[in-house]
Amino acid sequence: MKNIIAKTELNPTRDTPRRIFDIQFKPDTKTAETTADQFLSAIKNDLKIDNNYSTLKAAPTKTSNMGSHLLYQQQFRKLPVTGAWLRIDQDQQGQIYQVLNELVPEEQLATAEQIAAAHDQAVNDGTAHRYAEDEITVKLALDKLDMPMDRSVKYFLKEQVYFQLNGVPILAWKIVIGLSQPFVEWKLYIDAYTGNLIDKYIITKYCSGKGMVFDPNPVAVLNDTGLTANSPIPDNAYIEVMLQDLDGTGMLTGTYVTTSSTATANRITQPDLLFFFKRGMKGFTEVMAYFHIDSAQRYIQSLGITNILSTKAIPVNVDGGPGISSYYSPHLKGITFVTGSIDDAEDAELILHEYGHAIQDYLVCGFGTTPEAKTMGEGFGDYFAASFFSDKKPASMKTTFANWKSVTFSGAEPPCMRVLNSNKLYSDRGGNIYKDAEIWSACLWEIRQGMGRMNADKIIILHHSYLTPWATFVDAAKAIITTDQIINGGRNEELLAGIFIKRGILPNPARQNLLAGAVPDLM
């Protein structure tokens, strides 16, 4: 910098100062605005902007305990350039102590002018189209977000701007759309000539809370199969957890799950976002449902699956009242947990079992219209929960499901609702979808043993994309093999086929395509 004594940090892609500090500059004026104007005149060549810095539009000056802060938004063709700001900070005595620069240099603006002129000519010639304001609609925004039109829209704003693409401003439409249930605010940029999505991101400011949960349940954590519904639960059965992406309302609503369908009178509100409750206290099962569903969704995304139940928080009612079992409603797209001597939402495996039904319904709308499909639905729910928590359970419980809830009725050791290592064959189906579910869950568990948790979970979740609502065991077995072919190049085909052949689901080519367990009627 020739005219100013100062230190600088350069923008490596533009060769202009990104930050100017340790500044020695004595203005001959007393107002923040005229001081900034004098400083701009001195550094305009370093910023590579025009002599009159006419592309800059000053925002209202802000003040703080540190002094005055002046912001300038860069304009191009009388429209704002996104992300192109200059900020000048002055202390209480009027001394400039820092400048932050993200302006687009004149060279890039010249390139932008050439591009804009070419686009204008093409539009005038009728060889190109420019999106008018009335073409930038809610439908367009929801399409770009891959959301249904029935999503509740709280507000919709649009503005024509220039978006920096590879450092060069191009004409675009900026959209801000607020969506309810749960509330989330998106910002999108649409190319004004092609209609293509340039960028999108959530601008809602979320925050984290803390809470107390079973992970997954006290029987597993304490390795104590003698617990009953009336047993005192020691402190070491609980763990403290982070409750991510809460919306700041003081209630348990976030990006992927909300307890909003729980009756208002029974729902907990904590303005400080500290949800430290224990069993029997109002709020405990809410925290359980929120934490474990949120954790499961984040795990699914870690597998590279980012489009399942990820754009809308699933509503959960943790106080469904006494009942036989909890349920997922395909119509309401939400989960309800029943209560009892042990509430269902006290057992994290039951929570994820129901979330498994939500996953299936998302991938195959109406999944489970036949007894065989329903059976696989129960088996998948058991598997999804057991696989997720296996590493947190003692060896004797890894292949069992719902150890805590089942202490009220199970005579098994350890207590459980169902197992994932049964020897049942396809021919052993008896018509009870819950008992027959052990056939399918055992297949899935064997896949996990052969492929490892994450690889197995990925193909087991994604194979639903190839199923119909009335799929059979045979359909699902073939879909799993197909999914492995697509994702893994078919390297696990022998393993997978062997599992389904052994269970009598697929025919055995080595035995004249007969099915294991299929015994003809004896005369």
The per-residue pLDDT for 523 is 45
Do residues 61 and 70 touch, judged by C-beta distance below 8 A?
A: yes
Mean pLDDT score across all residues of the chain = 93
Task: List 241's β-bridge partners, or say none.
Answer: 211
Domains of the chain, first to last: 5-104 (no CATH), 112-202 (3.10.450), 207-363 (3.10.170.10), 366-516 (1.10.390.10)
The per-residue pLDDT for 93 is 86
The per-residue pLDDT for 148 is 80
- How many CB atoms are located within 10 Å of the residue 229 CB? 13
How many CA atoms, within 13 angstroms, populate the side-chain half-sphere of residue 255? 20
For 264-299, the pLDDT digits (tens) are 899 999 988 999 999 999 999 999 999 999 999 999
Is there a cis peptide before residue 520, judged by omega within 30 degrees of 0?
Answer: no
What is the pLDDT averaged over residues 83-102?
A: 92
Do residues 346 and 284 touch, judged by C-beta distance below 8 A?
A: yes
For 393-416, the pLDDT digits (tens) are 999 999 999 999 999 999 999 999
Reduced to 3 states (helix: H, G, I; strand: E, B; else coil), residue 5 is strand
| Secondary structure string (H, E, C) spanning 85-103 | EEEEEECCCCCEEEEEECC
Confidence of residue 4 (pLDDT cuts 50, 70, 90): confident
Give the whole-angstrom CA distance, residue 180 versus residue 186: 11
Task: Say which residues have a Cβ less than 8 Å from residue 376's Cβ, sequence separation at least 6.
Answer: 368, 437, 440, 471, 473, 476
Give the whole-angstrom CA distance, residue 169 versus residue 81: 7
Task: List 76's β-bridge partners, or say none.
Answer: 79
pTM check: above 0.75 = no
